[in-house]
Structure 1
Amino acid sequence: MDFIPLDYATLRLIWWLLLGVLLIGFAVMDGFDLGVGALLPFVARTDAERRVVVNTIGPVWEGNQVWLILGGGAIFAAFPPLYAVSFSGFYLAMFVILFALILRPVGFKFRGKVEHTRWKQTWDWALFIGGAVPALIFGVAVGNVLLGVPFHFTPELRAVYTGGFFDLLTPFALLAGLVSLSLLVAHGAAMLVLKTEGAIAERAARYGSVAALLGAVLFAVAGVWIATGVAGFRVESVIDGAFASNPLHKTVGTEPGLWMANYRTMPWTIVAPVLGIVGALAAAALLRMRRGGQALLACGGSIAGVILTVGFAIFPFLLPSSTMPDAGLTLWDASSSRLTLWIMLLATVVFLPLVLLYTAWVYRVLRGTVNDASVADTPNAY
C-alpha cells in the first residue's frame, strides 16, 4: 500500500486523537442539552417557564446528537475490538442510556400534545431522566475504564465479558459519574443563563455555580484517588514488535498509581487536569456574575480537560482488562487495517468541516434570547 502517504503507526495515533476530538465534541455539544434536561424541574416553576427552558435546546438537540453517532461510528470502524468488547460488555448500561435518550424526543414531541397539567409534568420528568441518567452513566463508564473492565480473550480472540451491570457501580465509578453529572449540569446552566432571562436565568445561575464548584472538587478527589488507590496499567513488553495487532501479544503490568506515569514522562500533559479544575472554578464564578457565554466556554473547557486527563493517563490503552491485564486493548493492537484508517481519514477530512460549518450556521441563525414572547410567536415551538 505504497500509495498511502502515512505509515500505520501514524494513522493509529491520528485516529486516537480524532476519537478524543469526537468524544469532546459530543460531551460539549450534547452536554448542555443533557444539563438543561436535568435542570428542567428545578429552574422552571410554571408551564410557561418550562416551555421557555425546553425551547432553548428544542431546535438543536437532534443536531448535537450527531456527535454521539460520529463517536460510535468511529469506534466501530477504527477500533473494532474496542467496539465489540465495550458495547457488549456494557450492554445493559448502554440500554439504560439509550432508553433515557429515547425519552428526550418523546418528551419534546408529546408534552404539548395534551393541555393537561399531569400530562405535561410527566413528560417534563421524562426529559429530566433523559438528561440526568446519561450524564451520570457516561461518567460511570469512564470510571470503569480507569479501573479496568472484566474481560478476556480466548485463544481464538473471542472476547468474553465476565462482569455484570451492578458490578459497574463501584464507589470510584460512581464518583466519576458524579463528576460528569455535575459538570454537564453546570454546562446546561450556562446555556440557560445565556439564552433566558429573569427568574429562570437566576435559578440556573444559582444551581449551575454550585454544580460547577462541586464538579471541580469531585474531579480533584478523583485525581487523588487515581494517584494513590486505583491500580493503573502499563505495557511491559510486546512479543511481535512495537505495533503488533494481536492484543494477546504483549505483557501488561499493573499497580496503584501507574496511571500517573504519563504525567511524569510528558509533563506538558498536566495542562489537561489544570484545565478541568480551573475551567470549572471559572464557570462557577462566571455563573454567579450571570455571564452565560463566558461560563459556557469555561464549562466546555473544563469538560474537555477532564476527557483529555483520562486520555493522557491511560495512553496507549483504550480499554484495559482487570481480569486478564495482558488482553487490555491499546491503540496499537485494536485498530482496523491501514487502508481502512486511511479511507476513513479522507472521509473525515471532507465531512467533519461540513458538520462544523453547519453547526456554526445553525447556532448563528438561532442566536438570541428565548422568552415567553418568542415562544408564543413561534408556531412550531415546543
Structure 2
Amino acid sequence: MFDYETLRIIWWLFTGVVIIAFVLTSGFDFGICALLPFVGRNDLERRAVINTVGGTWEGNQVWLILLGGALFAVWPLVYATLFSGLYVAMLLVLFALFFRPAGFDYRSKLENPAWRNAWDWGLFIGGAVPPILLGVLVGNLVQGLPFHFDADLRPYYDGSFFALLNPFALFCGAIGLLISLFHGAIYLKWRTEGELYRRALAVVRVLGPVVLGSVAVAALWVAFGMSLPEITAMASVDAPSNPLNKTVTMTSGWLGQFLSHPWMLIAPVLGLGGLFLAWRSALEHTSVGAFMFSSIGITGVLLSLGFGLFPYLVISSTDPSHSLTIWDASSSRFTLALAFWITVIFLPIVLVYTRWAYKVLWGSVTPEKVLKDQHSLY
C-alpha cells in the first residue's frame, strides 16, 4: 500500500507520537513523585498526593516500554547504537524506575513512620532521576554522540559515561526535571483541594518563569551554538538501510533548518507559548486549561527537537557521515508495513482504554478521602 519512503516517514511520526505520549503522561507522574516529600506535610497528605497518580502510573510507564519495542523493531540500528553505547546511563534510568513499583505498593504496608518516609524518598528518586537522565540523553542527541560503524555495520561507541555529563547535556537534564515538576504540579493542583492545592499552586507560580527562561536559553544555545550534518549525496530514500552510503558536510546550525522551512517555527512558538499560557492559566485557577496548555507547550518543545533533527535520528560527532537518518536506519519494508498495520489496529484500542481508565478513576483526592478509604488506596 505504501512505498518504503512513505513507511519510513510514517514510522518517524509514530515514534514521535509515542515519545510525546510518554513525556506527557509519565512526565506528570515523575513530577508528582519528585514533589512528594515537599508538598505533603504529613502521612495522609502524602498518601493523597500518591493517589492522584496511583491508578494510572503503571499504564503511563508502558509508553516507555512501547518506545523501546518500536526502536528494536523499526529502528534496529538506533536501538543497537543507543542501548549498547549508553548502557550505563540506561541502567541508571532503570534502577531509578525500580523505586516506583516498590514505593507505590509497599509504602503503606506498615504504619511505621520511618518505613513510610524511606519509601517517600524512594519515590522521589524514582521521580526525579529519570527526567534528569533522559534530559541528559536529549542534550547529547542534539550535540551528537561519539560512535561509528565498521564495514559490517557493527556500531562502536567511542565515548564514556562521564563524557555525557557535559555542560549543555546537564542543562538539558535540569530542564527535564523542571518541566516534569511544572507539569506535575499543574496536574496535582487539578486533582487536589485545600492545602495541597495551594502548595501545588505555589510550586507552579515559582517554576513558571524558571521553566520559560530555561527553555528559551536552551533554544538560543541550540539555534546559534549547534551544527547539523547536511547530506550531499546518498543512496535513494527507497534503498535498503545502510548508513555508510551517504556523504555529509557540516552546516552552520539549527537556525538554518528552521529558516529554510518556516512552517517548522510553529513548534517553538507552541512550546514557549504553551508553557507561558499554562503558567498564567494556573495562576488564574484554571486547572483544566493550565494542564492543556502545559501539554501543548511540552509537545511544542518535543516537536522542535524532532523538526530540528529531521531527517536524523542519531548524529555521530566523531564521523558525521555515519549519522543515522530515517532513510538508512530502518528495518525492511515488510517489517515496517507489518508493524504499521499492528499499530493502526491496536493503538486506537490502547488510547480508548486509557481514556476510559482516567474517566473511571477521576476525581479530587484529599486526605479525608484517603482516611475514609484506607484499604483500597495506596
Q: Is the 8 A contact 1:78 1:336 kept in 2?
A: yes
How far the C-alpha of 1:217 sits from its partner, in A, is: 1.0
The answer for the alignment partner of 1:269 in structure 2 is 264
Give the whole-Å Cα distance in 2 for the aligned partners of 1:289 and 1:268: 32
Residue 41 of structure 1 pairs with residue 68 of structure 2? no
Residue 174 of structure 1 pairs with residue 170 of structure 2? yes
Q: Is the 8 A contact 1:90 1:165 kept in 2?
A: yes
Give the whole-Å Cα distance in 1 for the aligned partners of 2:350 and 2:168: 36
Give the whole-Å Cα distance in 1 for the aligned partners of 2:229 and 2:218: 17
Give the whole-Å Cα distance in 2 for the aligned partners of 1:313 and 1:260: 8
Q: Is the 8 A contact 1:32 1:187 kept in 2?
A: yes
Q: Is the 8 A contact 2:224 2:255 kept in 1?
A: no
Amino acid at match of 1:168: L
How far the C-alpha of 1:206 sits from its partner, in A, is: 1.2
Amino acid at match of 2:170: L
Give the whole-Å Cα distance in 2 for the aligned partners of 1:365 and 1:334: 41
Q: Is the 8 A contact 2:185 2:203 kept in 1?
A: yes
The answer for the alignment partner of 1:88 in structure 2 is 84
Aligned counterpart in structure 2 of residue 210 of structure 1, from 186, 206, 211:
206
Q: Is the 8 A contact 1:192 1:292 kept in 2?
A: no
Q: Higher mean Cα deviation, 157-166 or 20-29?
A: 157-166
How far the C-alpha of 1:256 sits from its partner, in A, is: 4.2
The answer for the alignment partner of 1:348 in structure 2 is 343
How far the C-alpha of 1:211 sits from its partner, in A, is: 2.2
1:1-382, aligned counterparts within 5 Å?
5-238=1-234, 240-244=235-239, 245-257=241-253, 259-378=254-373, 379-382=375-378
Secondary structure at the residue paired with 2:229? strand
Amino acid at match of 1:268: W
Q: Higher mean Cα deviation, 329-338 or 37-46?
A: 37-46
Secondary structure at the residue paired with 1:381? coil
Q: Is the 8 A contact 2:75 2:329 kept in 1?
A: yes
How far the C-alpha of 1:113 sits from its partner, in A, is: 1.5
How far the C-alpha of 1:107 sits from its partner, in A, is: 0.6
Secondary structure at the residue paired with 1:248? coil
Moved over 6 A (4+): none
How far the C-alpha of 1:255 sits from its partner, in A, is: 4.2
Q: Is the 8 A contact 1:178 1:215 kept in 2?
A: no
Q: Is the 8 A contact 1:139 1:180 kept in 2?
A: yes
- Computed over aligned residues only, the root mean square deviation of the Cα atoms, in angstroms, reads 1.2
Give the whole-Å Cα distance in 1 for the aligned partners of 2:12 and 2:74: 9
TM-score with structure 1 length normalisation? 0.96
Give the whole-Å Cα distance in 1 for the aligned partners of 2:93 and 2:21: 18
Secondary structure at the residue paired with 1:49? helix
Q: Is the 8 A contact 2:44 2:371 kept in 1?
A: no
Any gaps of 5 or more consecutive residues in structure 1? none
Amino acid at match of 1:218: S
- The count of residues paired between Structure 1 and Structure 2 equals 376
Q: Higher mean Cα deviation, 345-354 or 366-375?
A: 366-375
Amino acid at match of 1:172: F
How far the C-alpha of 1:78 sits from its partner, in A, is: 0.6
Give the whole-Å Cα distance in 1 for the aligned partners of 2:349 and 2:229: 38
Secondary structure at the residue paired with 2:230? strand
Q: Higher mean Cα deviation, 350-359 or 107-116?
A: 107-116
Give the whole-Å Cα distance in 1 for the aligned partners of 2:11 and 2:225: 31
Amino acid at match of 1:333: D
Q: Is the 8 A contact 1:36 1:185 kept in 2?
A: yes
Secondary structure at the residue paired with 1:236? strand
Secondary structure at the residue paired with 2:83? helix
TM-score with structure 2 length normalisation? 0.97
Give the whole-Å Cα distance in 1 for the aligned partners of 2:109 and 2:37: 19
How far the C-alpha of 1:23 sits from its partner, in A, is: 0.2
Secondary structure at the residue paired with 1:57? coil
Amino acid at match of 1:61: W
Give the whole-Å Cα distance in 1 for the aligned partners of 2:337 and 2:68: 18
Give the whole-Å Cα distance in 1 for the aligned partners of 2:3 and 2:236: 15
Give the whole-Å Cα distance in 1 for the aligned partners of 2:338 and 2:175: 36
Amino acid at match of 2:113: T
Secondary structure at the residue paired with 2:142? helix
Deviations 1:48-94 (A, max 9, x none): 11010011111110011121111111111110000010111111111
Give the whole-Å Cα distance in 2 for the aligned partners of 1:178 and 1:256: 26
Q: Is the 8 A contact 1:189 1:207 kept in 2?
A: yes
How far the C-alpha of 1:178 sits from its partner, in A, is: 1.7
Secondary structure at the residue paired with 2:267? helix
Q: Is the 8 A contact 1:286 1:294 kept in 2?
A: yes
How far the C-alpha of 1:243 sits from its partner, in A, is: 4.2
Give the whole-Å Cα distance in 2 for the aligned partners of 1:374 and 1:178: 35
Identity %: 48
Amino acid at match of 2:259: R
